[in-house]
Structure 1
Amino acid sequence: MPVTATEALPLFPLHTVLLPGAPLGLRVFERRYLDLVAECGRSGRGFGVCLILEGEEVGVPATPAAFGVEARIEDFGNDRNGLLTLQVRGVRRFRVARTRVRDNGLLVGEVQWCDGPAAAPLQPQHAMLATLLGELLEKVGGVHPVLGHASANLRQLEDASWVGWRLAELLPVTDEQRLALLQEDDPHRRLDRVLEWLDEE
């Protein structure tokens, strides 16, 4: 069995699940995370966001979930209290093989990148999910870059992977359910899960 190479990635454990393609706003005030932002600025790299399984977002390093998503900084600023604010977007999924803690308290994961999304046309049994997503996107406005571009919207709504991530982002599901979808490699099985949850409502 081949050994999969790992890569060091600084982690930002949160009480939320970041999904591929999803935006997230953050306020940064702890020294370890200010250092993290400075490091990302120098290297041009992102950092990992994982759901906290045990612990808190501040203080002692929390226990993160085994799966997370790389966050790339798109914008930054300051709030009225002078705290650093970030706008990030989820990019690649990863699995955490092991973790270590730097001297400044920052958690670093040795991560294995999950395969990127291959083109996966929507299957007929999931067509109603694309219709539902189209209705949701009309209500939320300009959250996603493709909104307002009809041809791009149509292509995205035919992509099982994109439909699954956007439904996981927009539907009122729990973080545990989002994490279950994040751990699933097959985009069609993700949509099967979403259908099951909708049927239970």
Structure 2
Amino acid sequence: MKVPIFPLNSVVLPRGKVPLQLFEPRYIDMLTRCLKDDHGFVITLLREGAETGRVASFYETGTYVRIIDFQQLDNGLLGITVEGDAKVSITNSWQQDDGLNLGEIEFLPAEAPADIPTVFHELPSVLRALFRHPVIHELGMSVDYEDARDVGWRLTELLPLDRQEKQHLMEMQDPLARLSHLQALLEALEEGQ
């Protein structure tokens, strides 16, 4: 499957929502094609370069997203909201003349649902606290606080972690291993305060 690739300085995971502002012609054209053809695109983390630059390297694992809302913003830019659909592997990529990155992707196997073991009982509480922030609350995301996948995905997106750490957590396919890693990171953050 051939799709546009949108390198960002952040990660999005399945069921996560992200607001974006589009102003570059290559991304406005991408949006038009995606809406016309009723398909999404891939958001992947930048490895090097800038979001607005033409030269950028990015990670090969990203998330296929769908556009769920768009509107003209007060600042004159086009605002869209995307929702993560599934994790993907970018098997081949290239750049069009206008600077838009395209790639061939393969969908990764869906993570198996898992209940949250007692040892991780504090993680849903941390996530609930994050969801009380007005900006996050405004996104209108629904979270299953008993699903290890959902809790791990949202914490990965929302916690103030290093970009490479977020990518590592995103690439994990075992929801319980992700929770274990997140718990260790939170304990390290608490000790560092």
Instruction: Return the TM-score normalized by structure 2.
Output: 0.88
Counting matched residue pairs gives 187
Deviations 1:151-175 (A, max 9, x none): xx6xx11110001011112222222
Shift of 1:145: 3.9
CA distance in 2, matches of 1:116, 1:157: 19
Q: What is the CA-CA distance between 1:191 and the residue it aligns to? A: 0.4
**C-alpha displacement at 1:139, in angstroms?**
4.6
Do 1:66 and 1:95's aligned partners in 2 also have CA atoms closer than 8 Å? yes
Q: Is 1:55–2:49 an aligned residue pair?
A: yes
> What's the CA shift string for 1:124-146, capped at 9, x where partnerless?
22122123223333455353443
- Equivalence for 1:143: 139
Tell me which amino acid in the other structure corresponds to 2:160.
P
Aligned pair partner of 1:124 in 115, 118, 121:
118
Which residue, out of 171, 184, 195, partners 2:159?
A: 171
Matched, 1:15 2:9: yes
Matched residue SS, 2:51: coil
Structure 1: 5+ residue stretches without partners: 1-6, 147-152
- 2:103 — aligned with what? 109
Q: Match for 1:143: what amino acid? A: L
Moved more, 83-92 or 43-52: 83-92
Show structure 2 runs of 5+ residues with no match: none
**Correspondence list, 1:63-78, <5 A:** 63-78=57-72
What is the CA RMSD across the aligned residues, in angstroms? 1.8
Q: Percent identity?
A: 33
User: Contact 1:61 / 1:107 at 8 angstroms: preserved in 2?
Assistant: no
Q: Which amino acid aligns with 2:2?
A: A
CA contact 2:7–2:44 (8 Å) conserved in 1: yes
- For 1:29 and 1:142, the matched residues in 2 are separated by 22
TM-score by length of 1: 0.85
Q: In 2, distance between residues paired with 1:145 and 1:25?
A: 12
Distance, in Å, in 2 between the alignment partners of 1:18 and 1:183 is 11
